Structure 1
Amino acid sequence: MSRAKNPKYESMSLEELKANMEKSRQELEVAIHNKNLLEQRKKLVERRERSHRLIVKGAEFEKAFPLSRDLEQEEFQEVMNQMRNSSYNKSVVRQNYIAASQKDRQEIAEAVKKTEKGDDS
């Protein structure tokens, strides 16, 4: 199976083809570099979002259980393990997760309806 010749390149000299190839190689290098920068930025944003989420949730935990501030790391982990193993706590978390998921789906459905109607508000 032979490839069809491109008339655009047939009329070019060898020097022009080499220059074109070098330009394309440089553009590829720039694109790869930009992709790497974007990936690094994405990781940084995700790490900051995770750190923020952990801080906020930790603060909410301390607000609900003020005495937890005085616990050592091992003691705190033991409390968390006991809470994790409680079927009541699992049920509460599961119910809140389901409610949040339903709310998210409802908001998405409403946004889709607005988009279909052409409503920008």
Structure 2
Amino acid sequence: MSRAKNPKYESMSLEELKANMEKSRQELEAAIHHKNILEQRKKLVERRERSHRLIVKGAEFEKVFPLSRDLEQEDVQDMMNQLQNSSYNKSIVRQAHIAALHKDQQQIAEAVKKTEKGDDS
């Protein structure tokens, strides 16, 4: 299996080929570095979003159960386990999840209709 020769490179001198190869290597290293930076930024954004979500949900929990502020972490975990094991609570969470999915689907459908009509507002 032989590779076809590229006429673009046949006319180049050895020094030009080496310079071209070095430039390509540097561009590859820069692209890899840029990719790593973007991956780090993505992880940072995801971590910030998760932290924000946990803080907001914790605040909502304290708002509903104000006495939970005085509980130790272990007591809160025990209480959450009891709440988790309740079939009534599981049903409520499941219904809320289904309602949220339905709302998301409606919003997507409305956005598609607006796009199809050409309404950008």
Tell me the TM-score normalized by structure 2: 0.95
- Structure-2 residue corresponding to 1:28: 28
Identity percentage over the alignment? 86
Shift of 1:29: 0.2
**How large is the RMSD of aligned CA atoms in angstroms?**
1.0
- Structure-2 residue corresponding to 1:96: 96
Tell me the TM-score normalized by structure 1: 0.95
The answer for unaligned runs of 5 or more in structure 2 is none
Shift of 1:109: 1.8
Shift of 1:46: 0.6
Shift of 1:108: 1.3
The answer for unaligned runs of 5 or more in structure 1 is none
Tell me the amino acid that sits aligned with residue 84 of structure 1.
Answer: Q
Tell me the amino acid that sits aligned with residue 67 of structure 1.
Answer: L
- Structure-2 residue corresponding to 1:81: 81
Equivalent-residue separation in structure 2 for 1:40 and 1:22 (angstroms): 27
Q: How many residue pairs get matched?
A: 121
After superposition, the C-alpha distances for 1:42-66 in whole angstroms (9 at most, x for unaligned) are 1111111111111110010000000
Q: Secondary structure at the match of 1:120?
A: coil
